Structure 1
Amino acid sequence: MIREVLREIDDIERFLNKYKDYLGEDYIKYQKTLSELKIKARLKEIELKIKKALSLKSDKEYSRARVVLKDALALLENLEDETINKKIKTFNNQINLLKIQIENELLQIKNLLLGDESTINIHINPINMVFNIEEDENLKKLKQLLSKYQNPVKIGEGGFAYIFRVVKNNKIVAIKVPKELTELTGKIFLREIENWKKLNHINIVKLYDYNIHPYPYIEMEYCETDLNKIKNKLNLRDALMLIFEVLNGLKYAHNKGIIHKDLKPSNILISNGIPKITDWDLAREETSKSTTINALTLQYSAPEQITRTGIDKRTDIYQIGIILYELTTKQLPFKGDAFDIMESIKNKTPPKPSQINPLIDEELERIILKCIQKDKNKRYQSVGELQKDLANYLNMQLTTELNNSKSKNDFSRSMFYCADLVLFHLNNNDLPNALKYLYDLKYYAKKYCSEEIIKAIDNLINGLEYRIKEGIKEPSDDLKIMTKIVVEKVKMRF
């Protein structure tokens, strides 16, 4: 049945290609719809293979089940590559869940073929590496914790902890567990929880749950990637837009009296295109006098962290400046071994960003270099002050690009810049301007997008109009998320 559906879709595709020139702009929309239908059919085909493998497994035909699962995984990985190439995000969560399920089933079957009847669904090797033989009791407790979840898969680690992707109540979440149980890691873990539980913001990874029994853990929002993995793919404007959002989360934390102290690309996760700050284990309240630099990433450390003097909110601003420098130039300001980097951070002036990337103009360079001044008093004194300059810069750049595209009658680009202006003003809590550009976006989208997208834009307009009428100063998280989704679809001419 699925093969027949796929053949019919192929026939329609051949028809579309034949009349591509005649269909004009509609060709892209039809092709997009067909691509999604084809992906749905192929996902169904993979699900049926998994079902067949589970049936073979229950009949103890483990070798045959393993072959079917490996075939399903290969098909799924090819399909995932296709969705990435075509920039189709609709099926991301479903693909991730299927991948987790297949990987977990393959691990179980491998253990069964090796004569291990254990049904605990965890990757044993990375966990066993944490414990010595005499610490079997801790390993047992960790297994007990992970057995509460479905399909645990180790996805990363930091200085003090391992991160697992798990499934709970049919939802993917992440859990963080300490690498070892010592007095130091206990204090770090408790401090992280104490800080994190005070923070609830769209640009901060959400804390769901935590406990010390049966093994210390933090349950948190799962994000599909991090800034470190995508930093070299970002153009100048996208990098600045992303950092502007990050600053919203950082400003919120600072207003709560919490300083992060360890901002770096790997501590900025991305979920559905929204950046979120994570890892609050080195964070401290503003009133704390601790100045330790243990476990910091040296390249992102501020001078006062190297010299162990006077850490405050401006330390986070310095680290944001280093990230900005890296995102816009594609390199860090200081290089060499640990000693060279420490000396450079304390005493040397980095190369001007414009010398590395000529697209960086004088104003953007001024913003970046002001963030990373060695003297804290010469930096931006608050996140709000930095955001104000960055907002003025982004607004000027985007409106200039929009006006240029209008003057050239390049309305496809006009739609693109309107979309960015909507997001920018929404993240800047400027609802009237966000609404203004939403109306413009609707005008341009009518030329290029489906009726479904136009309706979605109308819903956003209604939501903003309501908030403005009621005197609400900020957009809701749901409104931000929906706007991000709609804007991305508009850019893809969905």
Structure 2
Amino acid sequence: MIKEILNEINAIERFLKNHKRYLGEEYVKYQTTLNELRLKVKLKEIENNVRDALKLKSDGEYLKARNLLKKSSNDIDKLEDEMINLKIKTFNSQITNLKNQINNELNLIKNLLLGEDSSINAPYNSSSVNSSNPINQSFSGENELLNKLNELLSKYQNPIKIGEGGFSYVFKAIKNGKTVAIKVPKELTETTGEIFLREIGNWKKLKHINIVQLYYSNIYPYPYIEMEYCEKELNKIKNNLELKEAVLLFFEVLNGLKYAHSKGIIHKDLKPHNILIKNNIPKITDWGLSKEITSKSTTINALTLQYSAPEQISRETIDKRTDIYQMGIILYELTTKKLPFNGNEFDIIYSIKNEMPPKPSELNPLIDEKLEYIILKCIQKDKSKRYQSVEELQKDLSEYLNIQLTTNLTASKTNKDFSRSIFYCADLVLFHLLNNDLGDALNYLYDLKYYADKNCSEEIINSVDNLIKAIEYRIEEGIKEPSDEIKIKAKIVVNKVKMRF
């Protein structure tokens, strides 16, 4: 097949060379045909590699099959980029089907390598990479499903694909003048259907400023979730955060997780990719693998291995402490800029089960003994040695942050470095609001107003005054927690004071 296509390419190239000056505008059309044929050759080579990988899998050569599939995945990404650059859409359906098949086969092989009983070692079938095969097809490969998806997206303005996960695609779109995100399953199978319904069921119970808000969901004309759009992803900014900034953000995420746990829901798949940021406020998303605490089902399918807890690897019972372990891995990464466990899958699995990672302070000397203790306690192998609740974790983290920020503020005042004092004072306002300490937040806000009066515009000074009045009112009324509106307003106001607007 490839030889026949190459012969066809050579014939067209000879024709173009001999007749270029006579072809005029037709020359461009022939060049397009030539580009399509070249892409077709590359696609066929990838399909052959996938076919070879399936044969290796059938023979029990799982690692070789996995490596060949990963190579095929990289090759198909490059091919897709070429198609975009050349503005060729001819092979969209085939590429989508092949990408889905590669991802599914990689998951199956991963399960086989991990000893998952639920994995099926399907017999080798040379037709399985054919785009007409209904197995593993996504909506892009089925006209009926594609039409339904288009019908759904037609309800919105300017839908643009902005991301994808193991089971779904995410689009950014506009509805009634408001930017929203739309999540749809990649394919319609029993597994994706179960995950999708579970996600909707649990997500509907969660309404918190640190959890991405679900606006609406339906299964017609195509299953979808309409949700809050967030402009940033922690995974993309994690290496740019300073230590203090990272720990404050982490503390804020814990508020959302604490709320979910109070509703009897554990996430099971916490990682920077699943923490989004809107208006500088972090929000947990992707509740597709979450489950109610009363549920006994557990699986490691679709989890990101490096963030998986030992009990997830060993298929033991999971609970709130599993989420705490995953948050500990995130805190380790945010503060050291490295993941605790690396290497191939077998090395990572062995390390998660049996080894403690390098001490965080060895990777970042700014991490003191208290913060290191907190990080390492989160990621203990034995669940009973971890923090037993988010509240317990936040208590230690609160003490650490309070000491760090007040010490820095005092030092800056002593050194008369008032530009730094503004920053530390602003951070203390936000920290105490996050910690529901309205009285302490108000005291530092009074100090911040003193700095604002000397350095900021009248507009910002008025904003600080309004924030003070809002907090004073809640204290007078005996309300113990700041409203979401106050938290949002506080972030905006204190950041402007920092920038001396």
Please, what TM-score do these two structures have when normalized by structure 2? 0.73
Aligned counterpart, 1:466: 473
The answer as to 2:389 corresponding to 1:382 is yes
Aligned counterpart, 1:477: 484
SS of the residue 1:456 aligns to: helix
Letter in 2 for 1:139: L
By how many angstroms is 1:412 displaced? 1.3
In the alignment, the residues of structure 1 paired with residue 371 and residue 396 of structure 2 have an alpha-carbon distance, to the nearest angstrom, of 9
Aligned counterpart, 1:158: 165
Check 1:347–1:134 CA distance in 2 against 1; reply closer, same or farther (3 A cut).
closer
Match of 1:320 among 320, 327, 333: 327
Aligned counterpart, 2:239: 232
Match of 1:493 among 480, 491, 500: 500
Aligned counterpart, 2:148: 141
Check 1:134–1:312 CA distance in 2 against 1; reply closer, same or farther (3 A cut).
closer
Consecutive unaligned residues of structure 2, counting only runs of 5 or more, are 1-83, 100-136
The answer as to 2:224 corresponding to 1:221 is no
Letter in 1 for 2:379: I
By how many angstroms is 1:487 displaced? 1.1
Aligned counterpart, 1:267: 274
Superimposed CA distance per residue, residues 171-219 of structure 1 (whole angstroms, 9 cap, x where no aligned partner): 1100000000111111100000000000000000000000000000000
Aligned counterpart, 2:196: 189
In the alignment, the residues of structure 2 paired with residue 344 and residue 164 of structure 1 have an alpha-carbon distance, to the nearest angstrom, of 37
Superimposed CA distance per residue, residues 29-64 of structure 1 (whole angstroms, 9 cap, x where no aligned partner): xxxxxxxxxxxxxxxxxxxxxxxxxxxxxxxxxxxx
CA contact under 8 A between 2:94 and 2:141: conserved in structure 1? no
SS of the residue 2:159 aligns to: strand
Aligned counterpart, 2:297: 290
By how many angstroms is 1:124 displaced? 9.2
In the alignment, the residues of structure 2 paired with residue 330 and residue 455 of structure 1 have an alpha-carbon distance, to the nearest angstrom, of 39
SS of the residue 2:375 aligns to: helix
SS of the residue 1:355 aligns to: helix
Aligned counterpart, 1:45: none
Moved over 3 A (4+): 123-134
Within 5 A, what are the aligned runs for 1:34-53? none
Aligned counterpart, 1:245: 252
The answer as to 2:447 corresponding to 1:445 is no
In the alignment, the residues of structure 2 paired with residue 349 and residue 395 of structure 1 have an alpha-carbon distance, to the nearest angstrom, of 28
The answer as to 2:376 corresponding to 1:369 is yes
Aligned counterpart, 1:47: none
In the alignment, the residues of structure 2 paired with residue 294 and residue 158 of structure 1 have an alpha-carbon distance, to the nearest angstrom, of 13
By how many angstroms is 1:474 displaced? 0.7
By how many angstroms is 1:131 displaced? 3.4
Match of 2:285 among 261, 273, 278: 278
Within 5 A, what are the aligned runs for 1:21-420? 131=138, 135-420=142-427
Aligned counterpart, 1:32: none
In the alignment, the residues of structure 2 paired with residue 370 and residue 308 of structure 1 have an alpha-carbon distance, to the nearest angstrom, of 22
In the alignment, the residues of structure 1 paired with residue 295 and residue 148 of structure 2 have an alpha-carbon distance, to the nearest angstrom, of 33
Superimposed CA distance per residue, residues 91-138 of structure 1 (whole angstroms, 9 cap, x where no aligned partner): xxxxxxxxxxxxxxxxxxxx9xx9x9xxxxxx9999787637872101
Letter in 2 for 1:296: L
Check 1:134–1:299 CA distance in 2 against 1; reply closer, same or farther (3 A cut).
closer
Aligned counterpart, 2:111: none
Check 1:396–1:224 CA distance in 2 against 1; reply closer, same or farther (3 A cut).
same
CA contact under 8 A between 1:453 and 1:486: conserved in structure 2? yes
CA contact under 8 A between 1:127 and 1:139: conserved in structure 2? no
CA contact under 8 A between 1:423 and 1:484: conserved in structure 2? yes
SS of the residue 2:142 aligns to: helix
Check 1:132–1:439 CA distance in 2 against 1; reply closer, same or farther (3 A cut).
closer
In the alignment, the residues of structure 1 paired with residue 141 and residue 239 of structure 2 have an alpha-carbon distance, to the nearest angstrom, of 44
Larger Rg: 2
In the alignment, the residues of structure 2 paired with residue 371 and residue 142 of structure 1 have an alpha-carbon distance, to the nearest angstrom, of 42
Check 1:137–1:384 CA distance in 2 against 1; reply closer, same or farther (3 A cut).
same
Letter in 2 for 1:167: I
In the alignment, the residues of structure 2 paired with residue 133 and residue 395 of structure 1 have an alpha-carbon distance, to the nearest angstrom, of 52
In the alignment, the residues of structure 1 paired with residue 273 and residue 266 of structure 2 have an alpha-carbon distance, to the nearest angstrom, of 17
Aligned counterpart, 1:35: none
CA contact under 8 A between 2:139 and 2:187: conserved in structure 1? no
In the alignment, the residues of structure 1 paired with residue 356 and residue 479 of structure 2 have an alpha-carbon distance, to the nearest angstrom, of 45
In the alignment, the residues of structure 2 paired with residue 194 and residue 366 of structure 1 have an alpha-carbon distance, to the nearest angstrom, of 36
In the alignment, the residues of structure 1 paired with residue 96 and residue 313 of structure 2 have an alpha-carbon distance, to the nearest angstrom, of 33
CA contact under 8 A between 1:412 and 1:444: conserved in structure 2? no
CA contact under 8 A between 2:139 and 2:149: conserved in structure 1? no
Identical counterparts, % of pairs: 74
Letter in 2 for 1:231: K
By how many angstroms is 1:449 displaced? 1.1
Aligned counterpart, 2:52: none
SS of the residue 2:460 aligns to: helix
In the alignment, the residues of structure 2 paired with residue 397 and residue 445 of structure 1 have an alpha-carbon distance, to the nearest angstrom, of 23
Match of 1:424 among 428, 431, 442: 431
Please, what TM-score do these two structures have when normalized by structure 1? 0.74
Letter in 2 for 1:460: L
CA contact under 8 A between 1:142 and 1:215: conserved in structure 2? yes
By how many angstroms is 1:338 displaced? 0.7
Letter in 2 for 1:303: P
